[in-house]
Amino acid sequence: MSRVSVIRIGLIGDPNPGVRAHRAIPLALARVGSEGGVLVESRWIPTEELGRAAGPSDNGASPGLSTYLARFDALWCVPASPYRDTRGALAAIRWARESHVPFLGTCGGFQHAMLEYARNVWKLSGVEHAEMSPEADDPLIAPLACSLVGASGRVQFISDSRVARAYGADAATEGYHCRYGLSPSYRSHFESGSLRATAFDETGDIRAVELEDHPFFLATLFQPELAALEGRPVPLAQALVEAARA
């Protein structure tokens, strides 16, 4: 692995200092850089900018979007959706997936990573997010049976997964701030293909997914970044930076 002096992480989302996760993520990344002896620069990428760069197409390979995002070594799609430009966020996620650029999505980032994958890989063109399309009959991202706003809970990791390796453990207790998650009616889609579920809550609901045929593509419904506000390390932030250095 070659040593890189500066790692540039693009934060997909619309910055809001009132959102705890938005305060936590730059802290988490800065800590990883300090402890790892590299400079980690995080830069916000407002979704409206992504929409303009992508142009009229939803294709993540659009030249304008590729040029715009090529400056980053990794992307993190952050909480606090709906985003101002959903199409822009989805195009950036698709670009990271198809370009094999390290990607992490948390909370809203998980929801939109799932939406992008379902539409473009599973070819479920009609799937929706219930928060943005409440009239949808069978949304991919649906209201949770119990809201997880301000909640915390234990998540169990699949033993050979990237998330388990990042934590160096088979489980962790993590915080949430969400009302929506992956609908159980789509769970059968994980029975084949490269996208697999790798973390579950105590009732067996999916709480993290990752791509096997990608250097690093991982998304969690929980918000691991919140640990940074308490001065604790964030294993997935470290894993993202390590993937960007590779």
Sequential DSSP letters for 52-78: HHHTT---TT-HHHHHHHTT-SEEEE-
Mean pLDDT across the stretch 30-39? 94
pTM attached to this predicted model: 0.95
pLDDT tops 60 at residue 2? no
Mean pLDDT across the stretch 38-60? 89
pLDDT reported for residue 166: 98
| 61 band by pLDDT with thresholds 50, 70 and 90 | low
How far apart, in whole angstroms, are the C-alpha atoms of residue 246 and residue 200?
A: 28
How far apart, in whole angstroms, are the C-alpha atoms of residue 218 and residue 238?
A: 13
* Strand, helix or coil for residue 99: helix
Mean pLDDT across the stretch 139-149? 91
Express each pLDDT in 182-198 by its tens digit.
Answer: 999 999 999 999 999 99
| 147 band by pLDDT with thresholds 50, 70 and 90 | confident
> Which has more confidence, 150 or 99?
99
pLDDT tops 80 at residue 110? yes
pLDDT reported for residue 195: 97
Q: Are 5 and 39 in contact (CB under 8 A)?
A: yes
pLDDT reported for residue 62: 83
Q: Are 167 and 208 in contact (CB under 8 A)?
A: no
pLDDT tops 60 at residue 210? yes
Helix axes 86-99, 47-54, angle to 10 degrees: 70
pLDDT reported for residue 22: 98
Mean pLDDT across the stretch 111-122? 97
Q: Are 125 and 119 in contact (CB under 8 A)?
A: yes
Burial class of residue 145 (count of CB atoms within 10 Å of its CB; 0-12, 13-18, 19+): exposed
pLDDT reported for residue 109: 98
Q: Phi/psi of residue 21, each to 5°?
A: -65, -35
Least confident of 77-81, 122-126, 206-210: 122-126
> Which has more confidence, 56 or 70?
70
Least confident of 146-150, 173-177, 207-211: 146-150
Q: What is the mean pLDDT of the chain?
A: 94
DSSP annotation of 129 reads: B
- Give ∠ CA 52-42-22 in degrees, rounded to 5: 85
pLDDT tops 80 at residue 59? no
pLDDT tops 80 at residue 1? no
- C-alpha distances (whole Å) from 33 to each of 6, 25, 95, 245 are 9, 13, 25, 11
| 3 band by pLDDT with thresholds 50, 70 and 90 | low
